[in-house]
Every structure is written in C-alpha cells, then in structure tokens.
C-alpha cells in the first residue's frame, strides 16, 4: 500500500469502507486532518486490516487508525 496513490485509497475501487472514508473526509472538511493526513490514516487502516487478516479496512480499522493519528498513539 505504500506505493498506491492516495486518490486510489480514497476511491470506491479500493474496497475501503465508504462510511469510514466519509468520516475521514468530514474531518478534512472541518480542518481536523489535511489531505495528506487522510491518506496516512488510510494507509495505517490498511496495515491494521492486513495484520488482522482482513481483505480491507472497515470502520473499526479506520477508527483505530484515526485515533492513533489524532492522539499520537496515546490512549
């Protein structure tokens, strides 16, 4: 996933949970994330999904990735 363009990660073709992507784009609209930040969260979500043996990230992986990104990994 490190070589995949961010635009593909945000697209429906990626298989990423669409509601989760919408939440990230809403955070972008609010100014909570930059577009680069959205892409980094998506890459982390794909890593979490891969580690869990999933075909792609769902809401749980996207939520965990966003929490790690916005809190710097702190609980």
Using DSSP, state whether 6 is helix, strand or coil. helix
What pLDDT is recorded for position 46? 94
In this prediction, residues 14-31 reach a mean pLDDT of 90
β strands within the chain, DSSP E = none
What is the model's pTM? Answer: 0.84
Mean of pLDDT over the chain = 88
Kindly give, in sequence order, each residue whose CB lies less than 8 Å from that of residue 41, ignoring residues fewer than 6 positions away: 24, 33, 62, 65, 66, 69
Q: Domain coordinates of the chain in residue numbers?
A: 15-72
In whole angstroms, what is the distance from residue 48 CA to residue 71 CA? 17
pLDDT at 37 over 70: yes
**Model confidence at 70: pLDDT above 80:** no
Distances (CA, A) of 11 to 15, 19, 65: 8, 12, 18
């Amino acid at each position: 996933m490190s070589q995949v363009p961010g635009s593909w990660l945000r697209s429906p073709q990626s298989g990423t949970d669409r509601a989760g992507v919408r939440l990230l784009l809403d955070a972008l609209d609010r100014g909570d994330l930059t577009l680069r930040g959205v892409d980094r969260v998506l890459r982390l979500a794909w890593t979490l999904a891969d580690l869990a043996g999933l075909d792609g990230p769902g809401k749980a992986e996207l939520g965990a990735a966003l929490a790690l990104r916005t809190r710097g990994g702190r609980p």
